[in-house]
Structures are given as C-alpha cells and as structure tokens.
A and B are shown apart, each in its own frame.
Chain A
Amino acid sequence: MEKLYDKSLTELHDMLAAKEITALDLTKATLDRLKETEEQIGSFITISGEKAIALAKAVDAKGITESNPLAGIPIGIKDNIVTKDILTTAGSKMLHNFNPIYDATVMDKVYQADMIPVGKLNMDEFAMGGSTETSYYKKTKNAWDQTKVPGGSSGGSAAAVAAGQVPVSLGSDTGGSIRQPAAFNGIVGLKPTYGRVSRFGLIAFASSLDQIGPLTRNVTDNALALTAISGFDEKDGTSAGVSVPDFTEDLTGDIKGMKIALPKEYLGEGVQPDVRTAVLKAAETFKALGATVEEVSLPHSKYGVAVYYIIASSEASSNLQRFDGIRYGYRSENVKNLEDVYINSRTEGFGNEVKRRIMLGTFSLSAGYYDAHFKKAGQVRTLIKQDFDHVFADYDLIIGPATPTVAFGLGENINDPITMYMNDILTIPVNLAGLPGMSIPAGFSEGLPVGLQIIGKHFDEHTMYKAAYAFEQATDFHTKKPVILGGE
C-alpha cells in the first residue's frame, strides 16, 4: 500500500470515503508507523493499539461517508485528557497507575466523530514546562532535529503530528502549551477562546487559563478538528453557550480589507533576528493579499510572565491539592500515619517543576503575600486584557511571533526556570485575556521552524482560520517536511 503517514486529514478522508482504504487499514498503518518512529521521536506514553483496532472495525462496519469528514481518522491525545480505561498519567509519577473510569467531554466528541484514538501523548508533568523534559516518563524529540526539544507542554502532541505519526492530535494550552510546540515543530496549533471547548476531564492545571485545542499539519485539518471538539457542555461551568460554526467554511484565501495589528512589544528584545524577519515578511504577505498591517502597542504585555506565574501557580497549588495518595494515584509505601501518606505521596509523586509551582502558588496565596502577589496579579491581568480590547476595537487580528526563539537544545534550559518561563512571554497574555491564539509555519532559522502567532477576538477563530488559510495558500512553509516525514 502507498504510504499514508504524510497525508493530510482531508486526503485520508477522501480515500476512506472512496473505499480505497478502510479505517482498519489506516489504523494498522498508523500503528506500524508508530513502531517505526517511536524510538526516534518518543512522543507517546501509551499506545492503545488493541482498542484502536476494535474501534476501527466498528467504524468500518458503520460505514464512512462524505458527511462525516473525521470518521476513521487516527488521533493522538495529550495525556492530561482523561480516557476511560486507558492509562492517563499527565506525565507524572503521581498518576503512574491511573485508569480513568470516565471520558473527558472532548473524548466523547472524538468518539462521536468516529475518530480512532491511538494513544496518549507525552507532556511536561501536569502541563508545567516548555520542553516536555519535566515528564516523568521519557524525553520527546523535536521532529526536525532530534537534539532539540519539541517544546511543551504539549511536546508529544506536536512532535507526533510533525513526524507523521498521526495527522491530528489534541493538546492543552495554559500559557502557550499548544502554540509553542506547534511553532517549534513547524505545524498548526490552535488554542481556542476560553470556554469554546469543554474542560471537563482535562486534568486541571490553572482553571481560568486552560483550554484544549487541536494540532495538525495544515489549517483546514485544524479547522475540521476544532469544529468537532467545540461546544457548550453542562459539565463545565465555564464552557460558553455560543454556537459553533463550521470553521472550514469560508476558507477562500480572500482576506482583502482585513485589518491586522502588529504589536511593537512582540518584536522587542529577546526575539531572535530570524524570527523577527519571518514575522515582518509575514506582514508583507498579508499586505500583498490585500490586508492592512499596522503597528500597535500592548504596553502591559511585558508583565504577562510575572502575572501568569502568580495566577497559574496559585490555581495549580489549589488544583493539585487533590493528589493526596488516598483515592487514586501514587501512594507512598514509606508511611507510619495518615499525615505521612499525604506528605510522602506528594513529595515522592511530584517532580521538581511541579513542586516549584505549588510552592510559588502556596506562597502567593499565603497570609501576608496575598495582596502584594495574587491580588496585584489579578489587577495587572485586567490591564493586559484592556490592552487587547483597545486594539481589537480597531483591528480584526493581531500577529506576532509565537516564540522569541526557535527550538532550543535538549537539556539546555531545564535547570534555569526563569529562562524557561520567558519562552512563553509572547503566548501568555493571550491566555490571561481568554483570547484564541494559533501558531502557523512562517519560516525557518538554521533548519528549525519559526511559528507565526495569530490572535483573534473572543470566539472569532473563524477569522483567524481565514487569515491563516490565505497565508498558507500564499506561502510554501507548510510544504517543507522534516527528514522523518520524507523531507531533505
């Protein structure tokens, strides 16, 4: 059979609907591809092959028609999304033995769409990190250069898609955890508007910031996947009762008259020259397509990282209280009394980055520091949000780099938390304001991909996809492949 692993989701769908291949053929080919590539990339914590085969047979029995564009398509799932009867670790020793008894709402939607989950993807422990190196289980490699990090925390989700292990994956993004690894691996990753996708069954890190979103190798595939996983969910009190459009509609390439803003702060100090050049070239591309691009200012964005580390860590310290060794997960053997179960299970079950965040959050919420830290951060968050409101009063979209640099080396920043945190300086403000943001391929620096970030208004992913699609049609960055996918 011809190779299937470099095909897009829409190409695969056409083959399935035309009965050139079955879902079972595709699932088997995907599992073979995982076998061939997993040692090199290391993106999966768990491969659920038997379940995938059984599901593929059931989908074939039902039949695949043109009206169900995702039926039979293999998908990888970040390991902080709970999957019934499939090990779900969140990259932590704490959940080394956790087999959920229910599915996250996004999994219900994946199954309703007749997609085939093939396994659980590696990630930074509890989604805390920017390189997937804080995972308890393994190191994932960048699809373009196996000496570089895949980014994080959804590093497995990005590397798996870029390396052709799966055509689509789900990740989660609290401060950049979909966009940064998508940028580092040269693929399309979108963090939806806060409330667009249900968080029910997403193991909580920072509840006011977390969102689940899709990673794919092109814009149309991404729009298809987001359409499938979006929508109000009564099980998530913050999910939004807004209608879900078909995000693939209106991908015409025509963006004449679109008003795009380029914040000067996003091209400032710390942004690599090649990254800056790629973004400025992207601005020219948009202009050539008939959009206007003008410089604007987001004056409080420089405080984003500080605000984020207080808010996200405070919420995390509260959310992670549930891991106490009692009802599920890791329980220390080294105990004499109940207090030991709590302290020793947490001390032995959590890694250092998770402990740092719990400690910072607990400190920020503790007596004497609450006003100076947590309350202050919540106020500056308001100012960051207002900066965006001002720009979006006059513009349709904001563009900038997704990350200040291209992928860095494995081991390079792992012992330097602040350098690691600064990596998210361009993505964090979007989460703080609850806006949708995406990264699309926009260039290369020394053989490594550069990601262009596109930020939209609340619940206006539609316009982002429209612009991203037009950019994709006008450029050839998305057609370049890493060696593992057949590139040169």
Chain B
Amino acid sequence: MAISEEQVKHVANLAKLSFSPSELAEFTKQLGKIIDMVEQLEEVDTQGVAFTSNVNQTINVMREDVAVPGTAREDLMKNVPEAENGYIKVPAIIDNGEAGA
C-alpha cells in the first residue's frame, strides 16, 4: 500500500509536526516503503492468536498509600524555558496576529 501526501499531512498534523513541500515528498516516499515492508505481516495467519502488548505478566502494582516528600517547586521549574512569578509562561493560545506572542 502506498501512502499519499495528503495522508502524510494528516498524520503530521496528528503528531504535531510540519514538513516543507520537499520534505513531505521525501517522507511520503520513505514512509510508503516502510509501510510496504511492515505490511508483509498480512501473510501471517493470526486467527484466534492473543495480542501481546507487554511480556511482563504483572497487571497492577500497588504501594502503600503513604505520603512521601515531593519535589521542591524550585527544582521542578529549573528546566522551564520561560517562567514568570513561579508559573510556566507560554504565548497566547489564540493567535495575536501581527502583535506576536
């Protein structure tokens, strides 16, 4: 199965990535080949075969509900690109147009 540029654009949108027109063409070609490769699985009979998502047999791991010291707020903010008054700062959610963020 080949994949179209339109589909690649749609997937990029889901994944919050953007591609220039030339990148889009290249990715469409490469993804198409990779999808052809993975679609060889169609030849395997999996009627009634269980699905494996994880080889670990454990379902839930519980711990005692005991309060433990948390991480200092100051530490949590150390890697934040932009902060103000102890909050993470981001641009306006709605586009401000020419005024910028």
Residues of A within 8 A of B (CB): 97-99, 101-102, 194-195, 208, 234, 237-238, 240, 300, 303, 305-307, 309-310, 317, 324-329, 331, 335-338, 340-344, 346-347, 350, 355-356, 358-360, 362-364, 366, 372-373, 375-383, 385, 417-418, 421, 432-434
Contact = CB atoms under 8 A, between A and B. Distances in A.
Contacts of B55: 194, 208, 385, 432-434
Contacts of B75: 101
A317 B15 CA distance: 8
Contacts, number: 169
B63 A234 contact: yes
Of residues B19, B44, B63, which shows the largest number of chain A Cβ atoms within 10 Å of its Cβ?
Answer: B44
B25 interface: no
B90 to A, nearest CB: 5
Interface of B is mostly: loop
Nearest to A97: B79
Given A101-B76, A327-B80, A360-B34, 13 more contacts: A101-B71, A101-B78, A238-B58, A336-B95, A338-B90, A347-B17, A356-B27, A359-B8, A362-B14, A372-B42, A377-B41, A380-B46, A434-B55
Interface size class of B (residues with CB under 8 A): 35 or more
Interface string B49-83: 11111111010010100000001000110111110
A341 B93 CA distance: 10
A306 B56 contact: no
Given A101-B78, A335-B91, A303 B37 contact: no
B57 to A, nearest CB: 9
Contacts of B97: 336
A361 to B, nearest CB: 8
Nearest to A415: B30
A337 B15 contact: no
B3 to A, nearest CB: 7
Contacts of B58: 237-238, 240
Contacts of B52: 378-379, 381-382, 385
Contacts of A327: 79-80, 88
A237 B88 CA distance: 30
Interface in B13-28: 14-19, 27
A380 B54 contact: no
Contacts of B61: 234, 237
Nearest to A386: B49
Given A331-B81, A356-B31, A337 B91 contact: yes
Nearest to A310: B38
Contacts of B95: 336-337
A39 B11 CA distance: 41
Contact of B91 (A341, A362, A378): A341
Contacts of A331: 81-82
B46 A376 contact: yes
Given A194-B56, A347-B18, A99 B34 contact: no
Contact of B56 (A98, A195, A366, A377): A195
Contacts of B8: 359
A359 B40 contact: no
B50 A303 contact: no
A382 B50 contact: yes
Contacts of B96: 336-337
A307 to B, nearest CB: 7
Of residues B18, B54, B97, which shows the largest number of chain A Cβ atoms within 10 Å of its Cβ?
Answer: B54
Contacts of A337: 91-96, 101
B86 interface: no
Contact of B79 (A99, A310, A317): A99
B2 interface: no
B17 A309 contact: no
B77 to A, nearest CB: 9
Nearest to A350: B17
A487 to B, nearest CB: 39
Nearest to A364: B38
Nearest to A300: B44
Contact of A360 (B7, B31, B44, B53): B31
Contacts of B71: 101-102
Nearest to A433: B55
Given A237-B61, A379-B51, A434 B37 contact: no
Contacts of A97: 79
The 4 closest A-B pairs by CB, nearest first: A434-B55, A328-B79, A379-B46, A378-B51
Contacts of B46: 376, 379-380, 383
